[in-house]
Amino acid sequence: MNGSKAIRNLSFVQRINAAIDVAHALEYLHHGCEIPIIHCDLKPGNILLDEKMVGHISDFGLAKILSVNTINYSTNQSSSLGLRGTIGYTPPEYAMGSELSTKGDVYSYGILLLEMFTRKRPTDESFKENLSLRNFVKAALPGRVIEIIDPILLQERAKQGTVTNITFNKINLGNDIHLQCLNSIFELGIICSADSPSERIDIIDVVSKLCSIRCKLLTQRYMMLNPQVPKVP
């Protein structure tokens, strides 16, 4: 099942699970293999969801092994590699001829993460001149996060009976675990998609942060469904 077509029907938790699955896969490619592998074309169309809604990375046609020879490409060779990937998901340094790196995959993952929870592509027609998906999300944080999330996720929140009383301010964000988690996810996507590779975090840290966000959300939901369970002081 293609992720770009299926993602619109996934719940909030299912999307977090899929995002963690993809991050785990990148973690394995970057750190679990004897020699790091760079995917070079991470995007929704290359994410597959199986029958259990587990996310998998596909299409390794542009992937490169990060060997010594790869790192030591000449300027001309490096420039030709700068065209690798898909518009909107390719890190800006590749277009300027920089060498391939795992941080390039992290950038693509950051854009993917923002798209998963806003349902807006980085090539959306509304993003013109200096506006981009990243800037669109960054401008809305933290007080207007509810304005940029996928409407389907907003409908899901409404069914839980709490979204109707939410106003666009930091106070309500601070009192709502659901919106706190969304805000944290968007912040993570922004860090991953920073223009400078040195400002992006490692995929290992991405996995850790996303798992923490999921734990926080699931704990809150469990407490709502089981109000008789005493809270830990």
Annotated catalytic sites, by residue? 41
Pick from 220, 210, 186, 181: nearest CA to 18 = 210
Rounded CA gap, 172 and 164, in Å? 12
Cβ burial, residue 143 (10 Å; 0-12/13-18/19+): middle
Structure tokens that stand for 4 in this block:
């770009």
Pick from 105, 93, 134: nearest CA to 204 = 105
Pick from 127, 138, 119, 118: nearest CA to 88 = 127
Q: How many CA atoms lie within 13 A of 185 on its CB side?
A: 34
CB of 64 closer than 8 Å to CB of 100:
yes
State the DSSP code for 2.
B
CB of 1 closer than 8 Å to CB of 45:
no
